[in-house]
Amino acid sequence: MAPVQVKKICCIGAGYVGGPTCAVIALKCPQIEVTIVDLNQARIDAWNDKDFNLPIYEPGLEDVVRAARGRNLFFSTEVDKAIQDADLIFVSVNTPTKKGGVGAGFAADLNYIELATRQIAKVSNSSKIVVEKSTVPCRTAESMRTILEANSKPGCRFDILSNPEFLAEGTAIDDLFAPDRVLIGSLQTQEGKDACESLRSVYANWVPTERILTVGLWSSELSKLAANAMLAQRISSINALSAICEATGANIDEVAHAVGYDSRMGNKFLKASVGFGGSCFQKDILNLVYLSETLHLPEVAAYWKQVVTMNEHQKRRFSKRVVDTLFNTITGKRIAVLGFAFKADTGDTRESAAITLIRDFVAERAIVNVYDPKVVEEQIWLDLEESIPQPLAATKKQVVIHKSALEACKNAEAVIIATEWKEFLQIDWTEVYKHMNKPAFVFDGRLIVDVPKLTEIGFKVTSIGRGDKA
Ligand SMILES: NC(=O)c1ccc[n+]([C@@H]2O[C@H](COP(=O)([O-])OP(=O)(O)OC[C@H]3O[C@@H](n4cnc5c(N)ncnc54)[C@H](O)[C@@H]3O)[C@@H](O)[C@H]2O)c1
Ligand SMILES: O=c1ccn([C@@H]2O[C@H](COP(=O)(O)OP(=O)(O)O[C@H]3O[C@H](CO)[C@@H](O)[C@H](O)[C@H]3O)[C@@H](O)[C@H]2O)c(=O)[nH]1
């Protein structure tokens, strides 16, 4: 058997990964027809929106969809048809942390992967290359293969590949256009290598050959968890050091700069913050912790768990510092939280540190003014309903969503910068100061404000990783 030349691709899951990834494949490979399917009708309708109000905010995404949609890129809820037509299928469904049962709170919930796999087996009338795009525990491909082989029709063969995605939200399109690497894992059999070559030739339309890495299936699956764990570990390391800075008068930006100058270390992912968020880091580390435990490696599990523990500590430390600084009480005080997304340039709020901060402020009976340039109001209420242990109606008496940073800061005692949106660099702090109660406090959870300038205006500024002794 020779490698199949891919003509039709189906992507199951039109989310943050499936949507942008396969839209870029369609753009870069006009000879391939790409259909992205989802069970969620509203999501597919938004992808097909005539005014391009897409379900995801991602810089550059609209241009990609405008160029390819209707040409060789299609969004549909007809899952079975897209599976039947395709010769290569990406499985890009969600793999959240399990909420109940064995491994609750740690293991990945593989129910969506299993349902999608069973659907592929059930409806396929011809052979397919099935590609794990979702982030999954090591050896998930084996379970997929068992399910596919046990349910396949005569004459249908399934080759499974692992092709984890490394894009970061907010820079997804740039990351997809020029990835550091594309990783493809396959069985080291002739069939496995042929399937790998088929997928490699899709990416080779725009990714330089030396950046397409081909490895064994299990290495590929584990590499994804490893990459996220090690990236998050850097943030927890710098955040742990930020606590020492606050107590000693050292400055975390200076420490990060000095450390990152070492070419063995590099200067990326060393920005101290109020804590990492996003749908991946915590979930994937907990997944690695669970994997280590099931492999009877408790020391390894404890090592990785500490990265998440440190992150929780950072968030809690930050909200405590706010309360301590505001004379040990924020009851009835107005606190402006600028930013609700987990990072700039995305509307995604999953595991955002802002949610934890607002939860803590609400528990202290503060009034919280929220502003984010991209997160829709409905999403903020959904997140707060889920995270604050009181009825939403009660939360709505304490939290107000605003349409601008200036409006959110009016009559506040303190401003919290929770997301590093570029527009927060342009805030007219003199104007903000005029409308705040005095003393006026700013707590910079992202290290973006000009501390001397704000201090000169009259603000009392507290930054992560900078102590009062600075
Ligand atoms: N978000 C990221 O930046 C990112 C980056 C790299 C990897 N990942 C991984 O990629 C996977 C997907 O993440 P996401 O953020 O895109 O999730 P998401 O929740 O945004 O999207 C998943 C989509 O799959 C759909 N779906 C689930 N089961 C289905 C089925 N049987 N048939 C059709 N559609 C189905 C859901 O309706 C949903 O729209 C996860 O494993 C995640 O860990 C995410
Ligand atoms: O120096 C830094 C860098 C990031 N962050 C925070 O870390 C979180 C995650 O940021 P980032 O990694 O940029 O975004 P994600 O979209 O979560 O991307 C991560 O998770 C994806 C999903 O698995 C992977 O594909 C990416 O490679 C990996 O970077 C955010 O809250 C950031 O604010 C910091 O606090 N300091």
3-state secondary structure 43-85: HHHHHCCCCCCCCCCCCCHHHHHHHHECCCEEEECCHHHHHHH
Q: Using one digit for the tens of pLDDT, what is the confidence trace for 38-51?
A: 999 999 999 999 99
Beta strand 88-91 with 73-76 is unpaired
Token digits for 78?
């007809």
Burial class (CB in 10 A: 0-12, 13-18, 19+), 269: middle
For residue 20, is the peptide bond before it cis, meaning its omega torsion is within 30 degrees of 0? no
Question: Are 8-207 and 280-463 the same fold in CATH?
Answer: yes
Q: Categorize the per-residue pLDDT at 470 as very low, low, confident or very high, splitting at 50, 70 and 90.
A: very low
The best mutation among 237, 268, 271, 280 to test binding of ligand 2, ranked by most ligand atoms within 8 Å of the C-beta, falls on: 280
CATH superfamily, region 280-463 = NAD(P)-binding Rossmann-like Domain (3.40.50.720)
pTM: 0.97
Each domain of the chain, given as residue ranges in start order, spans: 8-207, 280-463
Give percent of the chain above pLDDT 70: 99
282 annotated binding-site participant: yes
Q: Using one digit for the tens of pLDDT, what is the confidence trace for 70-120?
A: 999 999 999 999 999 999 999 999 999 999 999 999 999 999 999 999 999
Instruction: Encode burial over 375-398: b for 16+ CB neighbours within 10 A, e otherwise.
Output: beeebbeebbeeebeeeeeebeeb
The number of CA neighbours under 13 Å toward the Cβ of 453 is: 9
Q: Using one digit for the tens of pLDDT, what is the confidence trace for 405-463?
A: 999 999 999 999 999 999 999 999 999 999 999 999 999 999 999 999 999 999 999 99
**3-class secondary structure, 149:** helix
39 alpha carbon, closest ligand:
1
* Axis crossing angle, helix 281-294 with helix 217-248, rounded to the nearest 10: 120
Ligand 1 lining (C-beta closer than 6 Å): 12-18, 37-40, 43, 79, 92-95, 112, 115-116, 119, 134-135, 165, 167, 169, 279-280
The torsion angles phi and psi of 308, rounded to 5 degrees, stand at -75, -40
Ligand 1, residue 136: give the atom nearest the CA.
Answer: 41
Q: How many Å lie between the centroid of ligand 1 and the Cα of residue 17?
A: 6
53 annotated binding-site participant: no
228 annotated binding-site participant: yes
Q: Using one digit for the tens of pLDDT, what is the confidence trace for 230-274?
A: 999 999 999 999 999 999 999 999 999 999 999 999 999 999 999
Under a CB-based contact definition with an 8 Å cutoff, are residues 441 and 454 in contact? no
Q: Tell me: pLDDT of 189 over 60.
A: yes
61 annotated binding-site participant: no
**ipTM of the complex as predicted:** 0.98
Atom 31 (ligand 1) nearest CA: 116
The best mutation among 12, 22, 44, 92 to test binding of ligand 1, ranked by most ligand atoms within 8 Å of the C-beta, falls on: 92
**3-class secondary structure, 33:** strand
Under a CB-based contact definition with an 8 Å cutoff, are residues 320 and 353 in contact? no
Fold of 8-207: Rossmann fold (3.40.50)
